[in-house]
Each structure stands twice: as structure tokens, then as C-alpha cells.
Structure 1
Amino acid sequence: MPRYRVKYSKEGPARYSSHLDMVRFFDRSTRRAKLPVAFSEGFNPHPKFSFAVPLPVGIAGLEEYMDMELKEYLDPREIALRLEPNLPEGYKILDIKQIEDRAVTLMSIVSRADYWATAPLPTGYSEGQLKATIDKLLEQEEIIVTRETKGKVKEVNIRPGIFSLAGDVKGHILEIKMELLIGSTGNVRPEEIFKKLYKNGVPVDPDDYRVRRTALYADDGTGPISLWEV
């Protein structure tokens, strides 16, 4: 059965929907679009969708991915034309292409993500101060954060998972761009970076950032490559 890779965005009110909500939205939307989606077998069949990495609630995704299996071939352009009008507000189809039947799953290959975050900045804080703070943070061999999983607290060194971190001050707006580890080998969460910046003197509450995930990458051994190119 033919498989397709769907590139889409999730912004505006859609960023407040959970990953489970999103799966339901795509299920409902493909039904309304009368797309011949393939389903799994068993007592509880579900549509054959495969997503890259779930987006945390509140974070927008400007370039997200899912794989979808159909029972019969349709031109990717027709799929987009039928699916787009049936998606909830905030979801947009960016592109669709057919992929090989045995193509590796998105979740198994995704390894990095780009983020762009903005927040209001109090007056009196300069771009020079921001860059000095970021440089000092990146000079550290270890950046330890505390995580709680299933009632257990552990310390994690996230420094190896920070591939890039930069910031700008544009008027009264602070802008942070970063490339972080994500996927099956581990992850670094944007809010962990914001907390470290705050602790090191950046006068912005970690909860005040508006975050967008702008790109997802695999690693082909020579460096990051867009999931669309895999």
C-alpha cells in the first residue's frame, strides 16, 4: 500500500492541542476528506499514521511531519487539496510526497530540532549582556538539570545536546534561537534552556517565552539533514 510523507504546520489555536488531540484531528479530517486511509488489524484498528516527535502543548510547529498509509494510490496534490479544507484552524498542509514502502519511521531517525523563541524584555538589558551570558553558559562542560520521571528524580547533563544557542535583542523583544537534541537518543527541552538563562541573569521569566519549533532533522553521519530530504 502506498505511503506518503506529509509536511504541515501547527500554529495559532492549534498549538494548544495535545498530541493525542492532533492524532484524532487527522483521523477525523482524513475521513471527511474521504481519503482511503489504511488501518491496522486487530480488535482496536487505528489509522496508519506515524508522527516524528510530539509537540509539547503551547509550542507551535512550523515544519512538522507525519507518514500516512493509504489503501490505494492518490496523487499527492489531490491528497493535499482534499485534506487541507478539513483540518481544524491552525493546521496547514505544506507539502506531501510519496515515499518508499520500507522507508524508516520518522521517530527512529529524528535527532535534532530548531527552535525560535521570543519574549518581552525589560528595559536596560543589552544585547551585549545577553551574548555574554550565552557564551558563558556554552563554555561549561556540564549543564545539569533535574528531571522527575515516574516519581524518581535524576540529574541530567544537557550540554552535549545543545548544538547551537544564540540570542538577539530587538527593541523590547528578546529572541532566542537554538538547535537541540530530540528523539529516541534523548532530548533537551526549550524550557530547560530558558531556566538556565534566567538563573544566569537574563531578566525574562521562563514562562513568558513564545516558542516555535521551526525544523526537524535526521543525522546522516555528516551532519543534520531535513526530514523532508530523508
Structure 2
Amino acid sequence: MSEKKNSFTEKRSTRRNFIKNSGLTLGGLVLGGAVTSLFVKNNNNATTTTPTEESAHGGAVTQYNHALMFFKPAEYQTTAAAVERIYPEDENGPGAKELGAAIYIDHQLAGQWGNNVKDYRLGAFYKPADNQSPQTVLLRKDLFRAGLEALDEYSKQNYDAVFTGLEPEQQDEVLTAFSEGNVTLYGDTSSAEFFSLLRTMTIEGVYADPMYGGNNEMKGWAMRKYPGTRMQYVNEIQSDEFIELKPEGLSSHMS
């Protein structure tokens, strides 16, 4: 699926067009490797920034961990501000911040996916073609942390404030500069690589199963009228009436 360039300068761009242009969703279901990372359900050493919630689906009650596993508090706040600009609240429903996308990103970076466990990393490294993923010696968690530091540094240089202290329009301008590769991170790593990772994980955090920390109360699915991870639709298929289903998560299949 080809990736079309997304512009933050289009103030009237709709959420639907953004998702369509990003090429990250198919039938309301997010595609991406980060979704498959291990979700840790309990971490006594984590710093709690949002309350732990209990959600009931089909009689099963699952306690989701909304504690930080990777980010420092300031990094979490920067990430939460950035994801909200990528997927803002509008008339269709909540934005990425309320949906817990920053918590989702935190949990993914803390696990095997953030450490590139399944990636080949011995070189030689070549400049990738346009249809290939970037080749870098940086771990995803290190790339993301470097990107967050660069967001603050660029913001201070150009607006005399860290990223979270900027007005929404200024935050959009900063993210636009990063998306266009106008900032260099470690070595010759482009800010566009960080922005691509940030955008992908934001959309995943909005639409992934709540078990992974995002898609709070399955509101992301509800906006897309996606019924969730149901095991079968026998009764619905046999019915002559249209049946609107409320979303169900993976926890509904767990005893």
C-alpha cells in the first residue's frame, strides 16, 4: 500500500483523510508489528501516571496496566502532546491522548519490539530504496528517545519553549519540520525516520486492542464501528435484521 505524504499545514484536513493518506489501516484494523509485542500486565516498579482501569466484557474483568514502563514523566508528556496533534480530538470522537496512545507507545518500547529483538542488526547497512524500510544501528527505543529530545531542542531554538509549552499551531509546525526531515538526530539519522515511527505507533495506539494499553474503553473501535475481536458471527449472519455490535476486546475470550 503506497504511502502518501501527509501535511500538517492543512488546517482543515479531516481525521478520515489523515488515516486514509497514512496507509496504516485496512477495514478499521491497524496493521503493524508493534501490535504483536508482549504486553506486561503488572509492573510494581513502574511510575503510575494514569489510573489503572478495569473493563468488563462478556462477564470477564481484566485489569489493564496504565503505568509507565519506559518513558520518564517528561518524555511521556511530550509523547502525549505529539500524538494528540497527529490524531486530534474532533467531532467524531476523542483524540490519541484520551485514547491512551502514549501509554501504548511506552509499553511497546519497553518490550522486545522496542529492542529490535527480531531484526537483523549485523550490517552491512546500505541506503534503502524508496520501497524499503530505513536501515539504522539505532534501536527503536533509542530512536524514539532521541526524537523526543530533538523535539524539545528544536522547539527551544525556534520558539523559546519545550514542545509541551508550545501552542497547537506551533507544535504542528515543529512536527511538519520533523516529517520533512529538516532535523538530524544521531549521526545522519533523519527526523523523518522518527516522525514515521511516531505516526505509525500513534495510529496503532488508537486502534490496537485495549490489552496493549491504548484504544481506551475501545472508543477507537467504536468510532469506526468495528466490532472488535469476536470469535464468530453465526447468530448475526443468520439473522434477517442488521445487528449493530458493540466492540469486544481480547479479554472477552479469557477466563
The TM-score range, normalised by the shorter chain, is under 0.3
Give TM-score scaled by structure 2 length.
0.23
More strand by share: 1
User: Which one has the largest radius of gyration?
Assistant: 1
Give TM-score scaled by structure 1 length.
0.24
More helix by share: 2
